[in-house]
Amino acid sequence: MNPIGIVLIGCGGIMNVHAKSLMTLRDGVRVVACADIVKERAEEFANRFGCAAYTDPVEAVSETHPDVAIIAVPPNAHGFEEEIIEHGVHLLIEKPVAINLEVASRILRKIEKAGVINSVGYMWRYLDVVQIAKKEISNPADIGMIYGQYVWAANFPPGHWWLRKSQSGGQIVEQVTHMVDLIRYFAGEASSVYARLEKRLSKDEAIDVEDSSVITIRHKSGVTSTIVATWKSTNTMQDTFIRIFARDLVADIVGHQRKATFYRTNKVEELRSAVDPYLEELRTFVEAVRTGDQSRILSPYSDAYKTLELTIKANESHKLARIIEV
């Protein structure tokens, strides 16, 4: 069995996690190139895998002819995927898939036209405890409401791209997207969204990303969901979860801690995940590339596009101070 050739694009942050997973799967995959706009980062990753380093992702793909590109770049850096798709390369892309819907729409059309295997990094869907919850709460008609929370204490250096909304899209687009995606997974598609975002906790005028937000989503299924978020909490209070109020069951899913708690009448059951969601996500993608069967991928680009759309509409709702139809 020939190993699947992989190009890594965006050699920092979450790519370190993917690199670890690739080492676990090394018998079936081979990293042929690493690309990053910062040459030193590309070279550091390339040294790990004994491959070539590039600063241009399109050049990396055109010269090394990989089967797959794993892409982890800031939201505003997307768009080059259109060119590498023309080489027939399959894509695993970290969320969010773009900074705006125009770019994402063009990439989606290219993917659909080329027929390449595609997956987006909403890794929490691959947790075994999420799949257990999904089996228990398979019908949105059994859900009353969902509450989500993303409370975090950020520690970015001054000038980091995440702190500029033109580069990151803000906390909702770049980070709370995980909550939005998981809620969509259970409650179904949205019909409308209303959001209020404020910058009340950060006093740095160079930062234009809001630090406090409340989002309310009305789903076509009739479910209402609400998410509260901040990235200016303390290091002793960081908590990220969704809480599903279903018929005769309340389910808490805590993605970062990889656990779920099921509250039933007179019984509480806590389950810890036995899997690494990043590894499961990558393993599923690699197998899809090998077989040509995308059916087991839980977050294809077309689905991730809907999550991006909903987070962008949330930002729009705040800007216009009204409910936005989706």
- Interior angle at CA 59, CA 57 and CA 60, nearest 5: 60
Backbone angles phi, psi at 38, to 5 degrees: -95, 110
Q: What is the pLDDT of residue 131?
A: 98
Q: Report how far residue 61's alpha carbon sits from residue 45's, in angstroms, rounded to the nearest whole number.
A: 16
Query: 151, 301, 142, 173: which is closest to 237 by C-alpha?
Result: 151
Q: What is the pLDDT of residue 1?
A: 73
Q: Give me the residue spans of the domains in the chain.
A: 4-121, 124-277+308-325
CATH superfamily of 124-277+308-325: Dihydrodipicolinate Reductase; domain 2 (3.30.360.10)
Strand-strand pairing, 224-230 and 143-151: parallel
Domain 4-121: top CATH class: alpha beta
Q: What is the pLDDT of residue 272?
A: 98
Query: 105, 104, 114, 38: which is closest to 75 by C-alpha?
Result: 104
Please state, as a whole number, how many other Cβ atoms lie within 10 Å of the Cβ of residue 63: 14
Query: 83, 73, 90, 76: which is closest to 35 by C-alpha?
Result: 73
Q: Report how far residue 286's alpha carbon sits from residue 42's, in angstroms, rounded to the nearest whole number.
A: 22
Radius of gyration of the CA atoms of the chain, in A? 20
> pTM of the predicted model, to two decimals?
0.97
Report the DSSP beta bridge partners of residue 321. Answer: none
Strand-strand pairing, 29-35 and 52-54: parallel
pLDDT tens digits for the chain (326 residues)? 789 999 999 999 999 999 999 999 999 999 999 999 999 999 999 999 999 999 999 999 999 999 999 999 999 999 999 999 999 999 999 999 999 999 999 999 999 999 999 999 999 999 999 999 999 999 999 999 999 999 999 999 999 999 999 999 999 999 999 999 999 999 999 999 999 999 999 999 999 999 999 999 999 999 999 999 999 999 999 999 999 999 999 999 999 999 999 999 999 999 999 999 999 999 999 999 999 999 999 999 999 999 999 999 999 999 999 999 99
Write the single-letter amino acid at 84. Answer: I
